[in-house]
Amino acid sequence: MRFSNTFLDEIRDRVLISDVIGRRVTWDRRKTNVSRGDYWACCPFHGEKSPSFHCEDRKGRYHCFGCGVTGDHFRFLTDLEGLSFPEAVQQIADMAGVAMPVADPVAEKREKDRLPLLDVMEMATQFFQDQLQAAAGARARAYLRDRGLTGRTIETFRLGFAPDSRNALKEHLAGKGIPKEQIEACGLVVHGPDIPVSYDRFRDRIMFPIPSSREKVIAFGGRAMSPDAPAKYLNSNETELFHKGNVLFNFARARRSIQSAGRAGEAGQTDNAAGTIIAVEGYMDVIALHQAGVENAVAPLGTALTENQLELLWKMTPQPILCFDGDGAGIRAANRGADLALPHIKPGRSVRFALLPDGKDPDDLVRHDGRAPFDKVLAQAKPLAEMIWTREIAKGSFDTPEARAELEARLKQIVSVISDENVRRHYQQDIRDRLNSLFQPQFQRGNQQGRGFAREGSGRSFGRGGNDQARGGRAAASVAASDRLTRSGMIKGHQDVPSLRESVLAVTIVNHPLLLQDEYDEIAAIDYESRELQRLWSAMLGTAATMTGPQLTRERLIEKLEEQGFAALLKTLDQQVRNARLWTATEEAAMEDAREGYRQALALHKRSKALRWQKIELEREIADATEEGDGEGVGQLMRALQEVQLEALRLENQEAIIDGFGVLSGRIKGPTHK
């Protein structure tokens, strides 16, 4: 049976080509970059000892630089395994979880009917091109010349002119034997039951052909020559060929550009911006940028960016740049783009935002000074997180607790729409870090009048003290606690003996269960090495889940955990942190101090584990490279291992891991400890 292009594209997009090929080859660990979807292996089509077979998930293509084979998902299966094309389609559809299409006479007729419409659109494109070069197009040619477009650019984008006539195009197509039903189906004329005689949709306009991803003209955009025209820009209406929200102007050309840039990038011959896609606001922006040498730009078709258009961008690049004018309307459009993208971001998939100088668009920027000013704007593109943060803090001052609480609640609500759990957790952490940085000066000013923590000799005491005394005591206590906590975490002990750092994490949450309300995702994800703590953590999370609001108290939580047999362990953990004088983990610590101590201990815990796994992985790779006799690879891996070991050493020696010890807020609950 014949498969529609729409169906083939759908299943191809749902299945990574590396998943298809990876079942038949072994990826080379040194050359493969999984995070970029970039894979290398020894070619399965010809015998070789060094990997020259390459595939990229982003492009959905493979190529062998040794024997020259190239293709997509289906070609790989038909050429390597001898499957017929329908069998290859069936296999990819099964991997995609998509049912094979059943024979549908209506759908087959629709697909058959589409083909003549593409021919009609091609005829219309040629007609408009001819009209631009005719006497009737003189004014349009002058306009394009004034806009700085060269003849080559006009030809590249196949720009044309629709004469100021109600029936010039209609009569031209009819003269070539095109039935009126096809002319109407292409959206080239205005027609309907209340219109006695149809007439040309585009009149006295510069014409911009809009090609599909397969570079067939499927629609037009028209720019009015008359200042009195009701609409400055007019697009084709929705047709069988054209759905505005699913199309990006210049899509195919921009995709080719970044593919070329990707190959050049591997040879170190291009910049980062050339390897991504830039979404601008209009046709003329795209065309002017192309003429200035920026060939990787696309544009939505006269409307705000849609979800489908955003997905098209992500199919081409993991981090497109959305470029907007720097005026109020442009900033509002950028904010809409941020809200549109946020629910759909994933690891390795996001957007950045480039804001042009106020009153400028890309066309203005490159017309006189070339691409350099635009490249500078791209280099300053903001990440999505920065865009959201900048927008929210611009809404007012935060000099009161109520205003700060409102900002925090609003930011939490904004990032809660992120569907990917890991990305959402990191955004929540990013917000906490930014809020702490924004509000920290206010806390410090408050501490100047608050209580201090002083160190006298080898003992410690809580009480009122001068500012110098508080700061000195705090620093000394931080260094001492850091040394104890860091060394305990970096020395890997018996699996069932909790390290001091793991004990701090557990005890802090048990003593301050309200932290669960703000930090739940990260708390639930803590991976303990101690089996006893693993059991305690599972019980604690399950118990806390049954308590809501005011029911979630330290006393009730400990009571329930003791009922489950954890009394002795809780006592041991509590004594362990008290012996180490890490008071931020105890029940007497103020909430602000407990939260800060927990966050710093967790950050250290995560980094320590990551370094340990990096060390194990590098040691394994060194052993493999040694067996293979790869002296150069061993040297590179050894240098990487040394860097990991140096960072681990720095982690052991860093100061202020647990900061505060009751002085961040100046409040200590309960009795004094010495």
pLDDT in tens, 140-164: 999 999 999 999 999 999 999 999 9
What is the C-alpha separation between 473 and 480, in angstroms, rounded? 11
In this predicted structure, the answer to whether residue 477 has a pLDDT above a threshold of 60 is no
pLDDT in tens, 575-587: 888 887 888 888 8
Pick the more confident residue, 209 or 6. Answer: 209
What HEC string does 600-641 produce?
Answer: HHHHHHHHHHHHHHHHHHHHHHHHHHHHHCCHHHHHHHHHHH
pLDDT band at 446 (very low <50, low <70, confident <90, very high): very low
- Under a CB-based contact definition with an 8 Å cutoff, are residues 39 and 32 in contact? yes
Pick the more confident residue, 540 or 11. Answer: 11
Residues whose CB is less than 8 angstroms from the CB of residue 420 and which lie 6 or more positions away in sequence, other chains included? 345, 346, 347
pLDDT in tens, 619-639: 877 877 787 777 777 788 788
pLDDT band at 532 (very low <50, low <70, confident <90, very high): confident
For the record, the structure tokens of 398 come out as 């935060």
The sign of the dihedral angle between the CA atoms of 598, 601, 607, 610 is negative
Nearest-CA neighbor of 251 among 193, 198, 324, 301?
Answer: 301
What is the C-alpha separation between 51 and 40, in angstroms, rounded? 6
Residues whose CB is less than 8 angstroms from the CB of residue 373 and which lie 6 or more positions away in sequence, other chains included? 365, 366
Q: Three-state SS for 224?
A: strand
For the record, the structure tokens of 592 come out as 């602000």
- Under a CB-based contact definition with an 8 Å cutoff, are residues 279 and 299 in contact? yes
Which amino acid, residue 400?
A: T
Name residue 206's beta-bridge partners: 161, 223
Give the chain's radius of gyration (CA, Å).
Answer: 32
Q: Taking residues 436-443, what's their average pLDDT?
A: 64
pLDDT value at position 105? 66
Q: Residue 481 to residues 165, 493, 588, 673: CA-CA distances in angstroms?
A: 84, 19, 17, 15
- Range of weakest confidence among 191-195, 265-269, 651-655: 265-269
Most confident of 308-317, 321-330, 404-413, 637-646: 404-413
pLDDT in tens, 210-255: 998 878 999 999 999 998 888 899 999 999 899 888 899 999 888 8
Q: Please return the burial class of 527, using the count of CB atoms within 10 Å of its CB with bins 0-12, 13-18 and 19+.
A: exposed
What is the C-alpha separation between 520 and 506, in angstroms, rounded? 13
What is the C-alpha separation between 380 and 355, in angstroms, rounded? 9
In this predicted structure, the answer to whether residue 177 has a pLDDT above a threshold of 60 is yes
Q: Taking residues 525-539, what's their average pLDDT?
A: 80
pTM of the model: 0.56
pLDDT band at 50 (very low <50, low <70, confident <90, very high): confident
Q: Three-state SS for 521?
A: helix
What is the C-alpha separation between 98 and 7, in angstroms, rounded? 9
Pick the more confident residue, 458 or 360. Answer: 360
